[in-house]
């Protein structure tokens, strides 16, 4: 009965009963690519790591910049030397923006990178030319997570989780390898590595490298008193599809893992469209954990594997790794700290992928948690203008894209605050009843759009209703329509005809709701031609 947060309708967890409503997944507005891969050190592309908005309203982003270098083949272990997907360099880069739409790449002068690109020598693969420090590379850390904003952490010294990167040197060879530090760090604020020479002294050693696979850390699960990181399940144990694993630790040292999300019988499993989760970015919001779920439509009829992916004596059940396919973004919710995920709203795309093979958003493959801007949530997602790993691979002789290379870029998607999913009523009045809630004594707020109809709200005590002449007490939710609190019935509510992410419900002549503080109540909502996104008691 925790009533401090907004209660959203991504699943039925907030409802005691509702009939006649349709659950609608709302697609956010696409603003297209806002951080393009347009520099010689971005020929593979760019991938978002962290986006934030400062008190002055300006934006900053950290992202991974990647460029092709087929000369790296000799550096790759084993059969990866023949897989051109791994012949690249990467560094952490900085971008800045006044409005979140138009981004600058400031010159940091910290690390050598390609000064130009030769597109002919190894076409369609570009080759780096020359060297220059006139670039935005060389950020000496990676922001693993904003634990205060998205990770359920209240300790101000642990607001940010960081991994340090080898300090760049302008005299390094172009593309010299950079490494993460062996342990993780916490910080109270984003380090000012450009102006503060002592920024490292302000970090707190986490005493851990974070999760044991990719050193991620996403949130603190207060239900089970453990740190959590979510990641794609460990290959080669996918059988027969990818999965999402949950890594958990009480102390950031001793970790356990479990499968948390995977395809089921309701997901497509035809050979030409075999559905799988590709990645999941979790973030805490309104007392729950939401997940940006990148969903992969794998084309298993396309022979695009490699020798390192075939069954071996150690892994005889390993299925051929079919890599060609498309990705869309879905939205999922967890009520138990990421241990399980409700799929009610994740059966369809929240951000659909592009329809054409060269659509800038052919793959919507990753992203960072939302940035609050006014009454909207802004999402910076990684997009790719081509099918998943459909590049030329010497070992497999795969040439699906023989004449071009897909690029990773960053696109912006915006939606109303918490506007992922609504319950929609048509022209006939429909009523929903929430689960029992503790009344704080203030009132009720709605996130709704009722401009074309109207909404009314009532409150009822969460106590059994006497039925059959008072002989049989019943908790049937629909009976509450006749048991509303005096002064807080549907007829007492001022009709709501507006669109608002935070509308305060008003009752005419209502009594003092503060006298009900601490008591359990149901919220009843009657809607006509309206969308309900969420509610809360204040």
The last residue of one of the domains, among 418, 441, 468, is 418
Report residue 396's pLDDT band, with 50, 70 and 90 as the boundaries.
very low
Single out the residue in 371, 387, 418 at which a domain terminates. 418
Q: Could you tell me if 294 and 432 lie in one domain? A: no
Last residue of a domain, one of 383, 418, 453: 418
- CA–CA distance, 529 with 497 (Å, rounded to integer): 10
pLDDT at 81: 57
Q: Looking at residues 314-319, what average pLDDT do you find?
A: 55
Both 377 and 471 in one domain: the answer is no
Cα–Cα distance between 87 and 366 in angstroms, integer? 21
Q: Is the pLDDT of residue 512 over 70?
A: yes
Q: Say if residue 414 is in the same domain as residue 426.
A: no
379 with 341, same domain?
yes
With 90 as the cut, is the pLDDT of residue 534 above it? yes
- pLDDT bracket for residue 367 (50, 70, 90): very high
Note whether 438 and 399 are same-domain residues. no
Q: Higher pLDDT residue, 85 or 474?
A: 474
Residue 50 placed within a domain: yes
The domain in which residue 49 lies consists of 27-418
Q: Indicate if 464 and 411 belong to the same structural domain.
A: no
Average pLDDT over residues 138-153: 96
- Please report whether residue 344 resides in a domain: yes
Q: Between 136 and 234, name the one with better pLDDT.
A: 136
Q: Highest mean pLDDT range out of 80-89, 258-267, 468-477?
A: 258-267
Give mean pLDDT, residues 324-330: 94
Residue 1 located in a structural domain: no
Both 386 and 483 in a single domain? Answer: no
User: Is the model more confident about 75 or about 16?
Assistant: 16
Check pLDDT > 80 for residue 250. yes
Q: How many domains does the chain have?
A: 2
Token output for 527: 């809607």
Residue 394 sits in a domain whose CATH number is: 2.115.10
- Of residues 258 and 311, the one with the higher pLDDT is 258
| CA 42 to each of CA 17, 63, 286, 290: distance values in angstroms, whole numbers, following the listed order | 52, 11, 37, 31
Same domain flag for 234 and 336: yes
**Does some domain include residue 326?**
yes
Question: What distance in Å separates the CA atoms of residue 463 and residue 515, rounded to the nearest whole number?
Answer: 17
Residue 250 Rama label (left phi>0; alpha psi -120 to 50; beta): alpha
Closest by CA to 254, choosing from 204, 205, 206, 210, is 210
Please give the average per-residue pLDDT across 476-494, as a whole number. Answer: 88
Q: Would 41 be classed as within a structural domain?
A: yes
Mean pLDDT of the 32-52 span? 97
- Predicted confidence (pLDDT) at residue 139 exceeds the cutoff of 70: yes
Of 82-91, 204-213, 226-235, 523-532, the poorest mean pLDDT is in 82-91
Residues 125, 52 share a domain: yes
* Within-domain flag for 404: yes
Confidence of residue 80 (pLDDT cuts 50, 70, 90): low
Do 340 and 485 sit in the same domain of this protein? no
User: Is 460 in contact with 537 (CB distance < 8 Å)?
Assistant: no
| Average of per-residue pLDDT values in the chain | 90
Statement to judge: residues 361 and 497 lie in one domain:
no
Alpha-carbon span 152 to 188, nearest angstrom? 15
Task: Taking residues 490-513, report their average pLDDT.
Answer: 93
pLDDT reported for residue 395: 46
pTM value is 0.93
Q: Quick one: tokens of 174? A: 């172009």
Listed residue (432, 417, 436) closest to 2, CA to CA: 436
Same domain, 161 and 219: yes
So what's the pLDDT on residue 313? Answer: 64
What is the model's pLDDT at position 310? 58
The reply to whether 461 falls in a domain is: yes
Q: Return the pLDDT at 169.
A: 59
> 63 in a domain, yes or no?
yes
């Amino acid at each position: 009965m925790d009533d401090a947060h907004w209660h959203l309708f991504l699943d039925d967890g907030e409802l005691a009963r509702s009939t006649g409503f349709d659950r609608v997944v709302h697609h956010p507005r696409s603003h297209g690519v806002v951080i393009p891969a347009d520099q010689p050190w971005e020929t593979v592309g760019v991938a978002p790591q962290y986006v934030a908005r400062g008190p002055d309203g300006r934006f900053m982003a950290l992202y991974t910049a990647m460029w092709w270098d087929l000369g790296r083949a000799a550096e790759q272990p084993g059969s990866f030397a023949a897989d051109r997907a791994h012949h690249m360099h990467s560094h952490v880069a900085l971008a800045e923006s006044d409005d979140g739409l138009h981004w600058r790449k400031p010159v940091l002068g910290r690390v050598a990178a390609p000064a130009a690109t030769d597109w002919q020598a190894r076409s369609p693969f570009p080759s780096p030319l020359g060297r220059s420090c006139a670039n935005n590379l060389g950020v000496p850390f990676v922001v693993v997570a904003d634990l205060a904003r998205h990770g359920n952490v209240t300790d101000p010294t642990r607001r940010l989780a960081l991994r340090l990167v080898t300090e760049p040197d302008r005299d390094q060879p172009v593309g010299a390898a950079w490494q993460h530090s062996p342990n993780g760090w916490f910080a109270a604020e984003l380090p000012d590595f450009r102006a503060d020479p002592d920024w490292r002294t302000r970090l707190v050693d986490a005493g851990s490298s974070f999760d044991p696979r990719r050193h991620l850390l996403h949130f603190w699960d207060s239900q089970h008193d453990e740190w959590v990181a979510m990641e794609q399940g460990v290959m080669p144990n996918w059988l027969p599809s990818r999965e999402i694993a949950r890594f958990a630790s009480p102390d950031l040292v001793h970790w356990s893992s479990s499968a948390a999300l995977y395809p089921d019988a309701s997901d497509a499993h035809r050979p030409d469209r075999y559905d799988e989760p590709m990645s999941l970015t979790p973030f805490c919001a309104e007392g729950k954990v939401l997940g940006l779920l990148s969903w992969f439509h794998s084309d298993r009829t396309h022979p695009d594997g490699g020798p390192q992916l075939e069954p071996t004596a150690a892994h005889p059940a390993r299925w051929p790794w079919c890599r060609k396919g498309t990705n869309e973004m879905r939205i999922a919710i967890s009520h138990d700290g990421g241990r399980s995920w409700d799929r009610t709203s994740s059966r369809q795309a929240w951000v659909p992928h592009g329809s054409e093979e060269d659509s800038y958003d052919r793959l919507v493959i990753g992203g960072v948690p939302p940035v609050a801007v006014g009454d909207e949530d802004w999402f910076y997602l990684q997009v790719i203008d081509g099918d998943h790993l459909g590049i030329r691979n010497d070992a497999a002789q795969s040439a699906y894209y023989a004449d071009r290379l897909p690029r990773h870029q960053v696109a912006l998607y915006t939606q109303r605050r918490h506007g992922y999913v609504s319950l929609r009523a048509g022209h006939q009045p429909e009523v929903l009843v929430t689960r029992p809630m503790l009344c704080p004594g203030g009132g009720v707020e709605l996130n709704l759009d009722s401009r074309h109809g109207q909404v009314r709200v009532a409150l009822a005590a969460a106590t059994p209703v006497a039925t059959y002449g008072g002989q049989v007490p019943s908790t049937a939710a629909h009976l509450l329509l006749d048991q509303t609190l005096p002064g807080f019935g549907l007829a007492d509510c001022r009709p709501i005809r507006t669109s608002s992410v935070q509308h305060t419900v008003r009752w005419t002549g209502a009594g003092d709701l503060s006298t009900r503080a601490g008591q359990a109540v149901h919220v009843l909502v009657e809607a006509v031609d309206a969308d309900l996104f969420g509610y809360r008691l204040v």
